[in-house]
């Protein structure tokens, strides 16, 4: 059983399992799937200020905090107990392309040349972490939800704004990976 969990699951198993979370959440408690609203719940719990955005019954959304905690602890368990000791297997074309930008160390899950404490002190590292984090947070709030909320929950409930948001997420990801990221990596 443990060996089955360690292997990547095919799309025809993982996809329906993810898709079934939507009707399960709706049937079990009329809840919607999404992660980006968790920050609002945390702020509503911890900030006693009289800010109208945080003035709501956050206790009804406590299930979402357990969900986010489960994602975090699931990741910790996966890295601790289910980590693959073999080196990452990457497409040779990708390795060649990344080497043009000075990314050659693939000894961990994320290339060390991209994400490390030393890299964070550089201009490209700051742009990617602080700037990227701000843009993701701002974009999720501006779009009324994150990619998981719109693409999984919104599309499955046939919401037109979620279709528009998901298309914009895909276009933004393509533009970032194709044009902006190479420019940042050359800095």
Tokens of 74: 């699931």
- Determine the structural domain holding residue 154 and report its residue range: 116-187
> Is residue 92 domain-resident?
no
pLDDT score for 30: 86
Mean pLDDT score across all residues of the chain? 85
For residues 180 and 127, is the Cβ–Cβ distance under 8 A? no
Q: Is residue 88 part of a domain?
A: no
pLDDT of residue 72: 93
Is residue 156 a part of any domain in this protein? yes
Q: Kindly report whether the global pTM for this prediction surpasses the value 0.85.
A: no
Among 130, 91, 128, smallest CA distance to 113 is for 128
d(Cα 153, Cα 32) in Å, to the nearest integer?
7
C-alpha 121, offset from chain centre: 23
Alpha helices in 30-108 (DSSP H): 37-46, 62-81, 92-99
59: its two tokens: 């206790």
60 in the same domain as 8: yes
The answer to whether residues 77 and 125 belong to one domain is: no
How many distinct structural domains can be found in the chain? Answer: 2
């Amino acid at each position: 059983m443990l060996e089955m969990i360690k292997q990547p699951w095919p799309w025809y198993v993982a996809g329906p399992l993810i898709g079934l979370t939507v009707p399960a959440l709706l049937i079990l408690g009329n809840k919607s799937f999404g992660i980006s609203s968790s920050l609002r719940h945390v702020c509503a719990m911890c900030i006693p200020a009289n800010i109208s955005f945080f003035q709501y019954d956050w206790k009804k959304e406590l299930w979402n905090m357990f969900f986010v905690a489960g994602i975090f602890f699931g990741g910790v368990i996966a890295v601790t107990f289910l980590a693959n000791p073999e080196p990452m297997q990457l497409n040779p074309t990708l390795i060649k392309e990344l080497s043009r930008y000075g990314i050659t160390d693939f000894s961990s899950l994320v290339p060390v040349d991209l994400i490390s404490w030393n890299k964070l002190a550089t201009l490209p590292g700051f742009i990617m972490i602080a700037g990227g984090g701000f843009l993701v947070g701002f974009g999720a709030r501006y779009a009324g939800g994150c990619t998981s909320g719109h693409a999984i929950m919104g599309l499955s409930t046939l919401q037109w704004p979620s279709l528009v948001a998901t298309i914009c997420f895909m276009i933004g990801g393509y533009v970032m990976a194709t044009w902006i990221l190479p420019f940042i990596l050359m800095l």
